[in-house]
Amino acid sequence: MVFKKYQINQELYTRGGIITECDPNFVIVRLRMPAGMITPAQMQGLGEIASRYGVKDLHLTTRQTVELPHVDPGQLEELVGDLEKNGTPLGAEREEVVNVTACMGNRHCKFGIIDSVGLAQEIDKKFFGRELPVKVRIAISSCPNGCESERLNEIGITGTRRPIRDPGLCTGCGTCTHYCREKAIEVDNGVIVLHKELCMECGFCILPCPFKLISADDPEYRITVGGRRGRHPKIGRHLVTVKSHEDVLRVVDRIIYWIYRQASSGAMLPEQLDDLEFDEFKKTIVKMIEG
């Protein structure tokens, strides 16, 4: 009986959003939800759909999406159709670009530097579900606080802002030093000194200046590659820093192209970058971008 259900829905089973449970008579249905954003109407619709198909609980995943557990495979075709109509379509899980995650960004967060939600949605439109030799997770944090743990993903994007000081105008009051979590600013003989090697370019010291004397460069996007969570966590390495959404999309496109052409299946991307030498990979990507 189970075999017949698998045969009926064979095409759906090739899609990453369908995950077989420990009981092979049932599956988990994972949704696509870039940046974890969902409207109240979609949320209500999702609850109605779950009830209609006998799903008792919904699971909120670590990758900002929703799973419907314990689904009868015989219901998949109708269920997936209803999810599409609700604007909460089937997600991804296998060797492909999976749900793109992001913090709330400068739309809502007082620390936000870049529009991480908008960028995640742009990346999702272009790359979600792209079949690759390995699974690729993409995450975006609007500032170096790293709330989205973006550097623990195959591709991580961090918003940064470099503070600019005018020593001739600064009064040396030291207010900004109280807001620097890295102790990168100090007052030396009445003059503010910024230790660039300690600065994370978070921009936290800019707004508190009582005389509005600290300005900043335009926001930048620091891109890391090769991070991972799981059994052996690893922080991704800095690949390149760019200045716009368009530049980010170009870099991500080149990284994914490289993965498609060069990476092999059977090992996670961070493991392969160790073998293929990250410096050579970086030179290749930079050359692609410049070209």
- Predicted model pTM: 0.90
Give the residue ranges of DSSP H helices in the chain. Answer: 2-8, 10-13, 40-52, 76-85, 116-127, 245-262, 269-276, 278-290
> 58: Cβ–Cβ under 8 A, 6 or more apart, which residues?
46, 47, 50, 66, 67, 68
Residue 266, both tokens: 């059977």
Contact 214, 164 (CB under 8 A): yes
Give the strand order in the sheet containing 101-102: 101-102, 138-141, 155-160, 220-225, 237-242
CA distance 198 to 177: 13
Strand 18-20 to strand 237-242: parallel, antiparallel, or no bridges (unpaired)? unpaired
Assign residue 222 a region (left: φ > 0; alpha: ψ between -120 and 50; beta: otherwise): beta
pLDDT tens digit at each of 291 positions of the chain: 343 444 445 666 666 799 999 999 999 999 999 999 999 999 999 999 999 999 999 999 999 999 999 999 999 999 999 999 999 999 998 899 999 999 999 999 999 999 999 999 999 999 999 999 999 999 999 999 999 999 999 999 999 999 887 777 888 888 999 999 999 988 888 888 889 899 999 999 988 888 888 888 899 999 999 999 888 899 999 999 999 999 999 999 999 999 998 888 878 888 887 766 788 888 888 887 776
Give the residue ranges of DSSP H helices in 154-268. Answer: 245-262
Identify which of 224, 280, 276, 285 has the alpha carbon closest to the alpha carbon of residue 254. 285
CA distance 240 to 271: 20
For tokens 């620091």, the residue is 222
Biggest alpha carbon–alpha carbon distance for the chain: 82
Q: Which helix (H) or strand (E) holds 220?
A: strand 220-225
Angle at the Cα of 222 (from 218 to 225), degrees rounded to 5?
A: 165
Contact 249, 122 (CB under 8 A): yes
